[in-house]
Amino acid sequence: MEFAEGVQHRANVHINPAEKVLVKNAEETGAEIKKVFDSLKDERLGLLLSGGMDSAILASYMRGCDAYTFRFLGGEFQKEEMQRAERFAAYNDMTLHYVDINWDAMVEALPYVMATKGAPVHSIEPQLYIAAKQAQSDGVTRIIIGDGADYVFGGMDKLMSRDWNYADWKNRFSYLDLALVLKEPVDMDYLFRRYSHAENQIDWLKMMNDIATEESYSSYENAFAAAGMPYTDPYDHLQLAEPLDLNRICNGESKYVVRTLYRMRYPDLPLPEKNPMPRPVDAYFKDWQGPIRPEFRRDIDMSVLTGNQKWLLWCLEQFLIKYVPLKIGYTTGVYDLFHIGHLNLLRKAKAQCDYLIVGVSTDDLVEYKGKRSVIPFEERKEIVGAIRYVDEVVTQLNMDKLDAWKKYRFDVMFVGDDWKGTDKWNRIESELAEVGAKVVYFPYTKGTSSTLINETLQNLRHTN
């Protein structure tokens, strides 16, 4: 699908199933991997080397080459992974380069990978891009990865360890319930229905092979394409001649063919534990308060989301900010005894923005100003929310406009011109200008106000 008008979502099918090479065992797998490296002997290769057996096996065919290992948070994150990578590099006489990744580097790389894909991206893509650019500067002409081993040889053992029904698989594979985070979620059920059969049953293994495999490959393809770096995965063109033995996988022998090949290549080293590509997203988003674009709900419970789920929200918001520009307007008021002056202000405000947020003052805030509203807060809020020019109504608990900007990130604030030139609003203008927002003053509709209406009603009651 296209995520924004005029932005083409690039998602290529990685390899034609008809072009797959069938292998029966570890010996045949090793022989096919060697063929790949024989065909690349004229290139300067760089390996993305983790502490796992997939890239370790590839390292054993790349003696003397460059290896690149991710180092996060100054080396404090997953130290054991780096130590295993160091051991494999030394074992194969490789020159090991650390790729230092921090949040600032991720943010800097994000626009490049989003622009190439034309869509929000996986959390591994910016760091893959960074690694590719570093290898490029070292003179490497092709990156080698081992991502395909998990999908070809049954590495997704936690998913394969149970027989999923339709509802549980949809919940697991959706990653994040859209209804909890988006104001207008679209049900993705149509995608899962392609693989459903019988009552509440689903061919989850086929869906994983079709969807998850291509999604993972596309992430690597996109990151390296953005960096202008060719890459090869010696595993991805392989396929087991016989169906995966799910019993062996469920009993702790995930990637049993790869395990055997590892022991053949490293007879004197222990088998490393399987770890996904490290990325400290929990640390990155520990203090993040959540998205503020109007497409997202205001009541998201961020405390129950994982770091990876928060990445999905954050990255989608960054994509929208870049490719779906939205001028957000903000105005506030009591809106007591709603009248034509209120309507005129909201009409004019909406004419100058794409999305209008209106803050309605609580009863306590009105009384703090020495007044008392005739209409209760909840009713005033409901009335304002029913106006067609208003996109969102929020509660105004205080008069701090900079605090409101931090919550709603509006581009322009609308206010009555009776405040223009006052010390208070000169200061507010200056504060908002520092964060890129401006203040627009509208003339009040002459001859009417809530105060005047209230006084008129009181006079009428007194006369009667």
Residue positions annotated with a catalytic role: 369, 371
| 282 half-sphere exposure, CB direction, 13 A CA radius | 5
Query: In terms of Cα–Cα distance, which of 114, 356, 94, 327 is closest to 222?
Result: 114
Q: Are 333 and 361 in contact (CB under 8 A)?
A: yes
Count Cβ neighbours within 10 Å for each residue of 438-451 and write b for 16 or more, e otherwise: ebebbeeeeebbbe
Q: Are 222 and 132 in contact (CB under 8 A)?
A: no
Compute the chain's Rg from CA coordinates: 29
Q: Are 58 and 236 in contact (CB under 8 A)?
A: no
Interatomic CA distance for residues 143 and 198, integer angstroms: 44
Token pair for 87: 């051991």
Extract the runs of DSSP E, i.e. beta strands, from 376-419.
392-396, 412-416
- 3-state SS, residue 27: helix
Token pair for 116: 């190439």
Interatomic CA distance for residues 252 and 357, integer angstroms: 54
Q: Are 2 and 9 in contact (CB under 8 A)?
A: yes
Query: In terms of Cα–Cα distance, which of 121, 119, 85 is closest to 106?
Result: 121
What angle do the packed helices 125-137 and 103-117 form, to 10 degrees?
A: 100
Interatomic CA distance for residues 387 and 382, integer angstroms: 9
Which 8-state DSSP code applies to residue 416? E
Token pair for 410: 């509006």
Count Cβ neighbours within 10 Å for each residue of 180-209 and write b for 16 or more, e otherwise: ebbeeeeeeeeebeebbeeeeebbbbebbe
